[in-house]
Amino acid sequence: MQPVRVATWNVNSVKQRVPRLLPWLDERRPDVVCLQETKLADDAFRDLLGQELAKRDYAVAAHGEATWNGVAVLSRVGLDDVLVGLGDDAPGFPGPEARAVSATCGGIRVVSVYVPNGRVPDSEHYRYKLAWLAALREMVAAGPEATLVCGDFNIAPTDDDVFDPDAYVGETHVTPPEREALAELQALGLHDVVRDRWPGERVFTYWDYRAGMFHQDLGMRIDLVLASAPIARRVRAAWVDRQARKGSGPSDHAPVIVDLDEAPDGDIGPVVPPPSRPVRKRSAVKLPQSP
C-alpha cells in the first residue's frame, strides 16, 4: 500500500464552496476526502461536481439532503462497500438525517461524520446528539480493525480545544456528557491524531464568521481525525490547513489533513509523540451570542 493523504472538511454548502474546493483539491491533492455539510441532494451533488471530480480521478460516495446536513467520501485509492448512515437502528430527528457515510478506501474503513450540533444542553437536540454518538460507537465497534473516523464532531475534546473555556460555560460542545460520549468512542482504540501530534498546542479547526474571530485565532477544535491503532502508527503528518479558512468565500471550518505512510510489512510499534509544550496564552474575549 502506498502513502495516503486523508483530509476532512466541513465545507458549509458544497455549492457555495466550489470555487474553494476544486483549487484546494488541486493544491493539496488528498487521496481520500471526507466532506460534511454539503447541503445538497445526491443528484444535485453529481450534477454539480461529478465531472470535475472524475477528472481528478475521484470516486464519490455522497449522502445528502436537499437543504441541511450532507456528507461525502471522495477517493482515488478505491471506494468499496459504501454504507449510508449508521445502520437500521440509528436515531433520527425525528427521521434519519444525512450525517454519516462509510466506504473502504485503500484498505481502510473510512467514515465521514457530521455529528448533530446539540443546540442547547439537555434539549431534545442534545439528547439526539448523545444517542447519535452512541450509535456511531456501535457501528465502529462492529467494523474492521483498520478504521478512520473523520469529520465534524461538534465536540471540543478538552478545554485546550477552545479559545477560552469561560466563553463556553453552559454551551454545547464542551459539556461532560458530550466529552464522555466522544471518549467512549475513542475507547474502542481510536487515536486523535492531530492532538497526538501537537500536544498542548493551540490548534483550532472552526472559527465563527463574526467579529473577526478567525483573524484573532479565537476558535475551537471540533473537526477530528480518529484512527485505530494500525492506522495511527502510520501517521507521518497531521495538521490543520488554515490557508483554506483565509481569503474570500471560505467555509467557517478549515480542513484537517493527515498523511499516512505506506502500510508496514511488520508491526513497527507505536510512534512516540514529541514532548509537550505549554499552551499559548488565551485571550479573554466574549463568545459571540446568537441574537
* Separation of alpha carbons 162 and 15, rounded Å: 29
CA–CA separation, 165 and 2 (whole Å): 41
Of 106 and 219, CB closest to DNA = 219
Q: Which is nearer to DNA, 144 or 288 (CB)?
A: 288
Counting every residue written for the chain, the total comes to 291
Is 71 or 226 the residue whose CB approaches DNA more closely? 71
Smallest distance from DNA to CB 10, Å? 6
Please give the residue ranges that form the binding site for DNA (CB under 7 A).
10, 12-13, 15-16, 37, 39, 66-68, 116-117, 119, 125, 152, 154, 172-173, 206, 208-211, 220, 222, 249, 252, 286, 288-291
Q: Checking DSSP bridges between strand 235-240 and strand 190-192, what pairing results, if any? A: unpaired
Query: What b/e sequence results for 167-198 when a residue is b if at least 16 CB atoms lie within 10 Å of its CB, and e otherwise?
Result: bbeebbbbbebbbebbeebbeeebbbbbbbbb
CB of 232 to DNA, least distance (A): 25
Q: Which long-range contacts (CB under 8 A, 24 or more apart) does 217-221 make?
A: 217/163, 218/163, 218/164, 218/283, 218/285, 219/162, 219/163, 220/156, 220/161, 220/162, 220/163, 220/173, 221/156, 221/157, 221/161, 221/162, 221/194, 221/195
Nearer CB in complex with DNA: 156/185: 156
Query: Smallest distance from the beta carbon of 67 to DNA, in angstroms?
Result: 4
From the CB of 2, what's the least distance to DNA, in Å? 33
Query: At its nearest, how many Å lie between DNA and the CB of residue 39?
Result: 5
Find residue 219's DSSP bridge partners. none
Q: Are 179 and 160 in contact (CB under 8 A)?
A: no
Least CB distance to DNA at residue 236 (A):
28
> Which lies closer to DNA via its Cβ, residue 135 or residue 211?
211
Which C-beta is closer to DNA: that of 220 or that of 257?
A: 220
